[in-house]
């Protein structure tokens, strides 16, 4: 029986010739990730279990990104615990203020994810690295603690949904529109504990930043992971970043899928998700005109350079509407530098936006853009749950950078082609 990409990676990790959906395996880990919210919990469990050493100081990454620079006493204490643990165990990939970025943009940038690898992270959006042909998935802090100590994790092998991409995206369309469209089709539990495996001739037309965005939000359809095949664009991205050996996989021709979905990229319209679920999608034609008070352009989903370029192209020479706050957050220090070099940061500031140091901040209602009562935000983040960005009366519309920027200019949800 044939295997999917995910099944092949897990089989190799477990030292098995074959695995099948539903099978329980123990696999070797290539990387264990935590952040300033989840790592302290993992440290507590690590020490409670009497563990005294990590399996490999080079295969653990700790990124302080959610509440940094620290917004209050509690966040400072959590970050201090991470710093102490990283120093004690000589963690190689420890990223603090000044070196950090939003973890799921930073790790690929630093070459810490590669095709065929198995990565777990105590953050649900760890599935981002499937864009590089890796198996990556979010876990709880207890699993992170066990992974740091042993380099192993238990997995139930997921079944898979094949997403066949055809055509190519038109102007003002991006990976965010693709994944919102897909979640709208199948629902927030449509891929529950399954792998979303992307294939088809349309894959080649997607930039790596689009693929990162798509895999990042696989969890919003309930998926265990999302994964793309490795192609020339993947290898171009890896060149100069990853020097260690890696081995890509391809799905077998007779691999089994629970279902198949075809998306014609050329037929998509800009897509947004209204409160309070990522599956509550509308095309821009249905959503246009809704007033908003805040715009967020950034996050682990859409804070990469391509995202900033798309937003800046719309904001350049224009002004953010009166009564609207526009917050732009480059996802890493390098992206910030590149945005400065290209003049994008100047475009944002001249338009009346504020540009922040890399942080998850407003995405989880932490800092740098918490909403007030009954306010509406349009955001390039990944979740629009009740109370996600402020009080329970606040509302979040998920959108692409192009739609978010266009809406910042007009003060209402706007088709970027009409600005």
pLDDT (mean) for 135-141: 96
Q: Which residues contact 84 (CB under 8 A, 6 or more apart)?
A: none
**Hey, where are the domains in the chain?**
7-263, 273-418
Q: How many CB atoms lie within 10 A of CB 90?
A: 10
Answer yes or no: same fold for 7-263 and 273-418.
yes
- Mean pLDDT over all residues of the chain? 96
Q: How many CB atoms lie within 10 A of CB 154?
A: 11
> Hey, which bits of 274-342 come out as E strands?
281-283, 294-297, 325-328
For residue 270, what pLDDT is reported?
A: 97
Structure tokens at 108: 């690929």
Cβ burial 181-211 (10 Å sphere, 16+ → b, else e): bbbbebebebbeebbbbbbbebbeebebbbb
Burial class (CB in 10 A: 0-12, 13-18, 19+), 372: exposed
Interval 4-51: pLDDT, tens: 999 999 999 999 999 999 999 999 999 999 999 999 999 999 999 999
CATH number of 273-418: 3.30.499.10
108: helix, strand or coil: helix
How far does Cα 23 stand from its chain's mean position? Answer: 27
| Integer CA distances (angstroms), 211 to 120, 149, 233, 290, 302, in order | 19, 31, 10, 29, 11
For residue 1, what pLDDT is reported?
A: 78
Interval 253-284: pLDDT, tens: 999 999 999 999 999 999 999 999 999 999 99
Q: What's the CA gap between 36 and 378, in Å, rounded?
A: 26
For residue 174, what pLDDT is reported?
A: 97
Q: Which residues contact 298 (CB under 8 A, 6 or more apart)?
A: 102, 307, 327, 328, 329, 330, 331, 356, 362, 363, 380, 381
Q: Are strands 259-264 and 294-297 parallel, antiparallel or unpaired?
A: unpaired
Question: By the 8 A CB rule, do 178 and 212 touch?
Answer: no
Helices (H) and strands (E) in the chain, counts: 14, 18
60: helix, strand or coil: strand
pLDDT (mean) for 335-341: 97
Q: Which residues contact 217 (CB under 8 A, 6 or more apart)?
A: 125, 176, 179, 180, 183, 226, 278, 301, 382
299 — phi, psi (to 5°)? 90, 175
Interval 54-82: pLDDT, tens: 999 999 999 999 998 999 999 999 999 99
The structural architecture, per CATH, of the domain 7-263 is 2-Layer Sandwich (3.30)
Query: Pick the residue with more confidence: 366 or 121?
Result: 121
pLDDT (mean) for 406-411: 98
Interval 195-213: pLDDT, tens: 999 999 999 999 999 999 9
For residue 139, what pLDDT is reported?
A: 96
**Side by side, which strands form the sheet with 118-121?**
93-95, 60-63, 31-35, 118-121, 135-138
For residue 316, what pLDDT is reported?
A: 97
Question: By the 8 A CB rule, do 133 and 230 touch?
Answer: yes
Residue 395 confidence (pLDDT) above 90: yes
Q: Cis (ω within 30 of 0) for the bond into 276?
A: yes
Question: By the 8 A CB rule, do 308 and 339 touch?
Answer: yes
> Hey, which bits of 47-193 come out as E strands?
60-63, 93-95, 118-121, 135-138, 152-156, 159-166
Quick one: residue 244, left, alpha or beta (phi over 0 = left, psi -120 to 50 = alpha)?
Answer: beta
- pTM equals 0.95
Q: What's the CA gap between 370 and 362, in Å, rounded?
A: 6
For residue 16, what pLDDT is reported?
A: 96
Q: How many CB atoms lie within 10 A of CB 285?
A: 9
């Amino acid at each position: 029986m044939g295997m999917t990409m995910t099944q092949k990676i897990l089989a190799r990790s477990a030292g098995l010739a074959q695995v099948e959906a539903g099978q329980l395996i123990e696999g070797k880990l290539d990387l264990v990730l935590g952040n300033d919210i989840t790592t302290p919990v993992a440290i507590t469990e690590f020490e409670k279990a009497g563990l005294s050493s990590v399996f490999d100081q080079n295969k653990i990454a700790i990124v302080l990104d959610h509440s940094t620079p620290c917004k209050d006493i509690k966040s400072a204490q959590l970050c201090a615990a991470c710093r102490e643990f990283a120093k004690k165990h000589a963690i190689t990939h420890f990223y603090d203020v000044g070196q950090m970025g939003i973890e799921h943009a930073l790790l690929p940038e630093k070459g810490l994810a590669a095709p065929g690898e198995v990565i777990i992270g105590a953050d649900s959006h760890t599935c981002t690295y499937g864009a590089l042909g890796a198996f990556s998935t979010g876990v709880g802090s207890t699993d992170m603690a066990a992974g740091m100590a042993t380099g192993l994790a238990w997995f139930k092998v997921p079944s898979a949904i094949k997403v066949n991409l055809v055509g190519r995206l038109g102007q003002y369309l991006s990976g965010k529109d693709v994944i919102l469209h897909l979640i709208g089709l199948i629902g927030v539990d449509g891929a529950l504990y399954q792998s979303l495996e992307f294939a088809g001739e349309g894959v080649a037309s997607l930039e790596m930043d689009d693929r990162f965005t798509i895999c990042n939000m696989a969890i919003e359809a309930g998926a265990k992971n999302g994964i793309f095949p490795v192609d020339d664009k993947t290898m171009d991205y890896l060149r100069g970043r990853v020097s260690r050996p890696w081995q890509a996989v391809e799905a077998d021709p007779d691999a089994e899928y629970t279902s198949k979905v075809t998306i014609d990229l050329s037929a998509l319209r800009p897509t947004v998700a209204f409160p309070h679920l990522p599956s509550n999608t509308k095309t821009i034609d249905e959503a246009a005109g809704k007033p908003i008070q805040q715009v967020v352009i950034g996050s682990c989903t859409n804070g990469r350079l391509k995202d900033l370029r798309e937003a800046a192209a719309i904001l350049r020479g224009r002004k953010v509407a009166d009564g609207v706050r526009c917050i732009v957050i480059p996802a890493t220090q390098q992206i910030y530098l590149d945005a400065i070099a290209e003049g994008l940061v100047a475009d944002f500031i001249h338009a009346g936006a504020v540009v922040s140091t890399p942080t998850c901040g407003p995405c989880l209602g932490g800092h740098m853009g918490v909403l007030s009562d009954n306010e509406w935000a349009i955001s390039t983040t990944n979740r629009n749950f009740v109370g996600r960005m402020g009080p329970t009366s606040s509302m979040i519309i998920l959108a692409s950078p192009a739609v978010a920027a266009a809406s910042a200019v007009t003060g209402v949800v706007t088709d970027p082609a009409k600005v």
